[in-house]
Structures are given as structure tokens and as C-alpha cells.
Structure 1
Amino acid sequence: MNKASRLFCPALIIPKNAVVKQTEQLSVSQKLLTELGLVKSGSNGTYQIMPIAQRALDKCINLVQRNMQEAGGQKISLPVLTPTQLWKKTGRLDGDISEFYMVRDRSGKQFLMSPTHEEAITAMLATTAPISYRQLPLLLYQIGPKFRDELKSRFGLMRAKEFLMKDMYTFDVSKEKAELTYATVSEAYERFFRQLEVPFVKVEAATGIMGGSLSHEYHYISPVGEDTLLNCSSCGYAGNAEVFGEDATSTCPNCQSTQLNRVRGVEVAHTFLLGDKYSKPLGATYLNTSGKPETLVMGCYGIGITRIIAAALEVLSTEHELRWPTLLAPYDVCLIGPKQGSKEQVSGERIESDLLQQLTQVCGAEQLLHDDRKELTIGKRLMEAKRLGHPLTVVVGAKATQGEAPKLELHASGAETVELNITEVLERVASHVRHKQQLLQQIPSSETDVRVRQTVGHVY
């Protein structure tokens, strides 16, 4: 049983009359996560994840892994340190590397604290025993920390110097086969983002330092987004302004229409079709049907795990209360019982005890938070529960002990408070659990499907 009294949640205490001077612009998600004690700043651009937020992060990781495995992915782990000589071979060390961290070992050998792992994984395959065409396509992914010395680290987890990322690398026998793999992984990405129920847009993107022939980005629409996205209302084309070039303010590159809509986006995922940009210089090959070596054709696919948490909260939350994607909420239900010393304590706690057992059977002990801090008023605990954004909060208050038909308060995140009997409360919790199961099975409700398609252009 998860008990609020045992949670390590170092909330930021600000005296009532204190004048707080902001030295930087704060996003809604950054402000709430910090004030509520879910995230703490470690240093400029680095963050410490506290237990409640870690639960959401773990759920996001599990959901990503579920979708990557359904796409045929196999999980691996690669070293954080990548020898710079590999980046020299691919030519990337000659580009703009001002955002990358370099370290040396005691012998003077230089390494990158990897911002991405194309060279490392390609070199691994190049030094592996001959790979047969029968083993392809090969889809390898990992989830781990990445490092970039951001010039402007801001908005908390949305732009940090150290962040958690899922990166997948795929290997195929030909460009045509690689395009099929690209479609398979892209489908898994779209399924993952639909499951989160946060409106997103998929746009054509520039290949940039990664190189390759094809690239798409997945964005959450938000005023704090650092990318400008353009959507053509004439043909439906959507792209990052980077791919529009000098005509970004005038015409669509697809149909030359001038009917362009402009929004700001937070990039949360990116896919690339790389071709042989890395496999050729690093000598990564496979044996074809004739037993002769041919160069592997690659793709790479990234999802910003920590960035998704912050960006989703940024889109969904209010100024004062967090709103979690259903599948990422740290807990499904929070139960608040009567205050110690109140006149309804004795009879209320009997109901509270029975309800704990019944809720555990419906949603599972791991998804239930019992706010057992009886020294605090119901009002104070309820206000905190609302700010933390629990999907459902059940209150055993004075009305639970009155009359022949006792009533419980049910507070659903973002909805009006309702008074229900115990049976009705349990049914609401069961309905929430069923909705989660539907999302995992990818059976979105019609209401959700319509809502997420109304944002802009190629929105899902």
C-alpha cells in the first residue's frame, strides 16, 4: 500500500508574504513539478527526479518498450562514452560539435558523452561476425541518458543538458526494405502517441547533422515550443519551418499555396532514414544471398522520454494543477479519510478501511495512494491531491457517516466534484481501469479520436 505519510516529496515552501524574483522564464510544467517536489534542480540544466515523478517516468518507459517490442525491437545497452575516432570516420566530428561533452581518459584518449549512438552501434555491427540477410531487418533499441551542452537549458525537463531517451537503430538489406521498416516503426510511434491522448502533430523535418534522405518529427503544440511548424490548409502538408527554406513565410513546398498556418511545437520524437551514411564509412555489412558482403542500410528513431513527461504536462495542465496522460499518472486513485479528532473519525475510518480493500481489488494496490496524514485537514490534503493531478480522488468526509445512504466525494481531475455511494465510486474506478486497458489495446474512444485530430494539419 502506498502511503502519503511515507512519500519523499520535498515540496518547495514559499512564505505567504515572500517576494519571489524570477531570473528565468518558467513553463507551467517546470513551475508545478518544482513547487510540488516532483523534480529538483541538480545544477544548471540537470534535474533530480523524485519518487512520484519517477513513477510516471517508469510508466512512460514501459509503454515505449511495449510499442518498440511490438514493432520487432530488441533491447540492448551501449556505453555512454563513444570514442571520438568513430565520429571522425563518419565526418561528424568536423561539424558543429559545440553542444557535445568531451572527456579524456588518463592515457589521453578522447571520448564523447554520447548525444546519440549511430557511430557506436554501427561500429559494433561492423566488428560482429558476418550478419546474414536472414537476420534482417534488425531493430535494436536502448533507453538511457544522453548529454548535450545546451546553450539555453530552460523549461525544466523540456530542454536539459542530461535527459533520458529511447533510441532505436535499424538495419536492412536495401533502401526499399528500410522504407518498410521505417513505416513499421512510424506506425508504432503513432500508436504510442495516440495512447498518451495528448494532441500531437507529425511533420516533415530537416535531416540536419544526422543526415539521411527522410525525416519526420513528432511535436506537441505549445507556446513554449522552440520549433515553428507550418501547415498548408490547401493540401494538408505539414513541416518544420526548417524544410521550407527561404519560402518559409510564403509558399507551401508541396503545392505552392500561400495558405500556411503557423504554430509553435515541442519536438518529442524524431525518425530518420539514414541510408549508408554511417554503415559505409564504418564498414558495417551483411552477407547477401550469394554470400557476398553488402553495406547495411540504416534508420534511427528517437523518443525523448523525460521531455515527453514535461511537454505532456505543459499541454494538459492548468496554472495551478497538474494534468497527467491517463497511462502516465503516478497513481490512479488517491483516498483521503477523516481528520484525526473529528466527530466522524471513528465511523468514517471503518468506511475508509473497507474502501481501501475494495479499491485495491479494483485498481490494484500499486495504483492506489492512501493519504493517511490524519493530522492534516481534509481540505489541505484534497488541495494537494488536486495539484498533484491524481485522476481520481475519493474523500471519506462528514457525509459518509450521515443517514442511511452515506455519500463519498469523488474528485476527477479536471471535472466537477460529485457525491456518490460506495458502489458508484467503485464503478467509476473500474471504468477508469477499463479505459486504461482500452488504451493499451489501442481502442481509443470516439471522443478522444475526434479531440486529438482537431489541432493542426497532420494531427493524430
Structure 2
Amino acid sequence: MMLSGKTRQMSLVACSSQTFLKLCQTPAVCLAQCNMSRSLNTRQTNNSSPEGYSGRKYVSKMYQNLGNVYPESSKLVCKSHKLFLYASIVQQCYFGGYNLLPLGQRVQDKLIKIIDQELESIGCQKMAMTTLAPAKLWKKTGRWDNIGHELFRLTDRKKTDFCLGPTHEEVITNILASGPMLSYKRLPIKMYQITKKFRDENSPKYGFLRGREFDMKDLYTFDATLEDATETYNSVCQAYSRILGRLGLDYHQVIGTTGNIGGSLSHEFQLQADIGEDTIHVCKKCGFAANAETEEAQNKHCTDKSCGLSISPSIEVGHSFLLGTKYSKHFDAKCKDRQAKNGFYQMGCYGLGVSRIMQACVEVLSSEKKIVWPQIIAPYQFCIIPLESKKECLSIAESISDDLNTNPRLSGEVVIDDRDKQVTFRLFEAKAIGYPYVITIKDKALQDQPEFEVIDTCNNESRFMTREQIQNLSMLIETV
């Protein structure tokens, strides 16, 4: 049985909470695994010198925790936008454009790894196309004149027109048209890129949710027949579901509009959120789901009072299109079918808003002043906070960091907040950034049988653990 997105998220949180509580009550059961992990690590450590161990990361040496004050009253109404600015995930460069700071870059890199894994599992190949797209390619399809003012246009010194690509259907189709004619035996071809996209938004707002430049994954597929293209379309949609499922998100796959991209079939992947600028209709009983702008949504009438049709705002994080031959005909891009006849490629295109997903996760999972990431893409899994007044607490923090780093899955996933500030202040900031686990090193850590407070920030639970129990917990954490 496949769980809904919401059920998956609840299950992940419940499982994490139960595991956390159980580890506080059970003896060490994973020491053999921990020792095996240590043997895999060949790095030399030097506990007497912080610089002697390359795996240690100190907050005092990192561009984060910059003392930003959370705006109590602000014109910003988007929760995730405020959290991103406050926690130094992004910094605004210009109206609608944001610099992705180191914490945000780590999150995005992890999200990209998940996307790569799922797309490669269905045979997709990663590539990179030019950011500048020649106007002559866009004029072939008519979109140079039809797409409107959202297209960034520029002219070089030789008076050649280009645009900053918001999408790459023309460029990818030209690649296939310029190469040798492929047989159906070599299809489907599935190529994707994850690059910056540009859109001259009239009124950008909400950070990455509606910006003028953003990171997007765009995938393009080529088949010999419509039947084959539909099969490919379904496999990509299933991969999208796995990506969002691994993030534990409550998503809806809904019938979507084709817009200026075109095609005969379209689906959107939506996250319900009050700040969302889309509206979706979802029937809990029959499974119907569509964007409010579609004919399907406008024609849907639930006469059964128990039908459960709900209408809610949402954020679009993914979109799929079955394009047919709209672009291949313009570029005379052909393949040989099973009857050895030449025919136009049946195409599909599929977008995932990478930077948008990153912010949308925070919008739907977080509280007003504390980021909650999907744990698998949190910037770091552990933050260790030693008591500022005792040097031996810092030494213990470094030792625990070294131990955690011997687990290959947690290598580089631990930060030590060594700043000369009160523990309560640093703990507040750690929760705001969204580290899944915070370990505080205080007086109990100096006892003959030391114990350490371990805080599960997602579930707001705190327990004292031994070092062995901390190692056991670390063995259960999923990273990418």
C-alpha cells in the first residue's frame, strides 16, 4: 500500500521520535557497526589542536550565525522567506534575486543528489546547455514573440539576438535535429540539466517562490511513438513522486495547464500552503485532483455530499508535459520507427523547481521562528554546543565530533558552535537554523559517568544520552 505524502511525513516524524526515546533506554547495540565505521576512516586526528583534524567544523569559522534579528514586524508575509533571511540561508542581492549562502548551498546540493539518484534510476543522462539561447531557435517555434515580457532578451556586439533561457525546449530539440537520425531501438532518450533559469517577473516576491533567477531541473525525453512517450511520461512522474516522498512531503499530483509550453497532457506537483499562488481542487473520495485553472476542475461537480472535495492554495514545485510533436516538427527532428519509417520525435518535458522545493519544504514544515528541514537535506545533522566557560567542554565536543565523523554517512555532517556565547543563545540559533539534533556539553558531561543532553529539534524532545547511545543514534540517520 502506498502512503499519502502527509502520512509519510507523519510516519517519518513518529519513527524518529520513537527511535530517539528507545535509544535513551537501551544498551549499546551498534558498537560493532561503529567500530567498523571507524576502521573505514583513515584520517589522522589530533585532539590537542583544533586544526589537527580536517573533519571538524567550527561555527566561529563559518559564514553563518551572523546575528540577524528576526523581524517582529515586517512587510514580508511569507514565513519561509523571513526564515531564510534570518537564518542566513540566502541574502538578497537585488529585487527578485538572491545569493545562496553556504548553509543554503549545502541543502541544495543534497536535494540535487536525491534528484540525480532518482532520475538516473530511470535511465536519464545529465548534461548542461548554454544559458544564452539564440533568438533564431526561439523564432522557429514562434515563442520569441509569443512568450511576452518575461523573457530576458539581449543583443551582442554583432547585433545577434539572444535570450537568457527560462526553459530549453528549442535548444534540446535542435541538438537532436542536428545529430544522426536515431532508430526506435535507441529510444527513449532522456536528458536533463540543473541550471540557473531567468524570468523577468513583473512583481517578484516570496524569495525563491517567485524570483527572477532560480535553479531548476529540466528534463526532456524523446520517443518514437505516442504510446512510448506516454509510458516514459508515467515513469518520470513516478520518479517525481519518489523524490518528494524521500523528502517526506505531503504533495498532490494534479491535472495541470499546458500554458506556453504546450502539449496534450500535463500534471503539476503541488504542496498545500496558505502562501501558495495556485489553487487546487482535490477530492478525497474519488482521488480527483486538478489545478483550478483547468477545464477539468471547472467542470468537476461533486453531487455526493461525502465526496470530500477541497479547494486550497498551493505551491507548484514540479510540472510535467506530454508535448507530442510540437517542437520536433519545427526543427524537423525525426527518428525511425518500428516500420523503418521516418517520423517526428514524440517529446516530453519535465521541470522541478530545485530552489523552490528547498524553500517550499520550509514553508510547509516549519514554525514561525524555527526551520524544520526534511532531515535528509538538513545542512548538518548535528550541532554540538559546549559550555562556554569551561575549556574541557570544548575538548569533549571535539572528541564527540571526531567519533561521529568516523561514520561515513556523517562525515562532514557535524558542526561545533564554539562561540563565546551562552548555551541558551546558541541553542536558540541552532533550532532556528534547523539542525535535526543538538548536543549540549554541560556539567553532566564532566561526571565520572558522563551524559550529554541530546535535543531532537524536529519533535521538541530532549534526553540525556551516553556516548554509546549517541553513536547508536547516529547509525540510524539517513543522509545523502
Contact 1:266–1:311 (CA<8 Å) still a contact in 2? yes
2:144 to 93, 99, 118: 93
Match of 1:395 in 2: 440
Match of 1:335 in 2: 384
Paired letter, 2:432:
R
Contact 1:322–1:388 (CA<8 Å) still a contact in 2? yes
Normalising by the residue count of structure 1, what TM-score does the alignment of the two structures yield?
0.87
Q: SS where residue 428 of structure 2 aligns?
A: helix
1:413 to 438, 445, 457: 457
Paired letter, 1:122:
T
Which is further off, 94-103 or 161-170?
94-103
Measured in 1, the distance between the counterparts of 2:188 and 2:319 equals 20
Measured in 2, the distance between the counterparts of 1:115 and 1:353 equals 46
Match of 1:127 in 2: 178
Q: SS where residue 210 of structure 1 aligns?
A: coil
Question: Which structure 2 segments of 5+ residues have no match?
Answer: 1-55
Match of 2:68 in 1: 13
Q: SS where residue 252 of structure 2 aligns?
A: strand
Which is further off, 2-11 or 48-57?
2-11
Matched, 1:351 2:399: no
Q: SS where residue 209 of structure 1 aligns?
A: coil
1:303 to 346, 352, 370: 352
Query: Deviations 1:7-45 (Å, cap 9, x if unpaired)?
Result: 112635349xxx9763x4331111111112221001000
Mapping for residues 170-189 of structure 1, pairs under 5 Å: 170-189=221-240
Measured in 1, the distance between the counterparts of 2:331 and 2:463 equals 63
1:379 to 408, 424, 435: 424
Matched, 1:252 2:300: yes
Which is further off, 361-370 or 173-182?
361-370
Q: SS where residue 461 of structure 2 aligns?
A: coil
Shift, 1:234, TM fit: 4.6
Mapping for residues 284-323 of structure 1, pairs under 5 Å: 284-289=333-338, 291-323=340-372
Measured in 2, the distance between the counterparts of 1:257 and 1:48 equals 50
Match of 1:272 in 2: 321
Paired letter, 2:57:
N
Matched, 1:364 2:410: yes
Query: Deviations 1:257-277 (Å, cap 9, x if unpaired)?
Result: 685310111000000000000
Match of 2:20 in 1: none
Matched, 1:108 2:156: no
Shift, 1:370, TM fit: 1.7
Percent same amino acid at aligned positions? 35
Contact 1:207–1:214 (CA<8 Å) still a contact in 2? yes
Contact 2:398–2:416 (CA<8 Å) still a contact in 1? no
Query: Deviations 1:97-133 (Å, cap 9, x if unpaired)?
Result: 2211111111222112111000111011111122222
Paired letter, 1:276:
T
Paired letter, 1:111:
F
Paired letter, 1:422:
R
Measured in 1, the distance between the counterparts of 2:208 and 2:153 equals 22
Measured in 1, the distance between the counterparts of 2:474 and 2:412 equals 14
Measured in 2, the distance between the counterparts of 1:177 and 1:257 equals 37
Which is further off, 408-417 or 70-79?
408-417
Measured in 2, the distance between the counterparts of 1:200 and 1:261 equals 14
1:148 to 192, 196, 199: 199
Root-mean-square deviation (CA, aligned residues, Å) is 2.0
1:81 to 132, 149, 156: 132
Measured in 1, the distance between the counterparts of 2:172 and 2:441 equals 55
Shift, 1:398, TM fit: 1.2
Shift, 1:364, TM fit: 2.9
Judged with a 3 Å threshold, the aligned counterparts in structure 2 of structure 1 residues 293 and 391 are, in CA distance, closer, same or farther, namely: same
2:103 to 47, 52, 56: 52
Judged with a 3 Å threshold, the aligned counterparts in structure 2 of structure 1 residues 99 and 217 are, in CA distance, closer, same or farther, namely: same
1:422 to 467, 470, 473: 467
Paired letter, 2:461:
E
Judged with a 3 Å threshold, the aligned counterparts in structure 2 of structure 1 residues 396 and 21 are, in CA distance, closer, same or farther, namely: closer
Measured in 2, the distance between the counterparts of 1:265 and 1:226 equals 6
Shift, 1:219, TM fit: 0.9
Query: Deviations 1:392-446 (Å, cap 9, x if unpaired)?
Result: 11111112123x4322111112222112222222222222x2xx26xx7xxxxxx
Q: SS where residue 306 of structure 1 aligns?
A: helix
Question: Which structure has more RCO (C-alpha within 8 Å, separation ≥ 6)?
Answer: 2
Matched, 1:324 2:370: no
Query: Deviations 1:311-341 (Å, cap 9, x if unpaired)?
Result: 00011111111101111101111111221x4
Match of 1:448 in 2: none
Judged with a 3 Å threshold, the aligned counterparts in structure 2 of structure 1 residues 353 and 75 are, in CA distance, closer, same or farther, namely: closer
Match of 1:2 in 2: 57
Q: SS where residue 187 of structure 1 aligns?
A: helix
Measured in 2, the distance between the counterparts of 1:303 and 1:365 equals 28
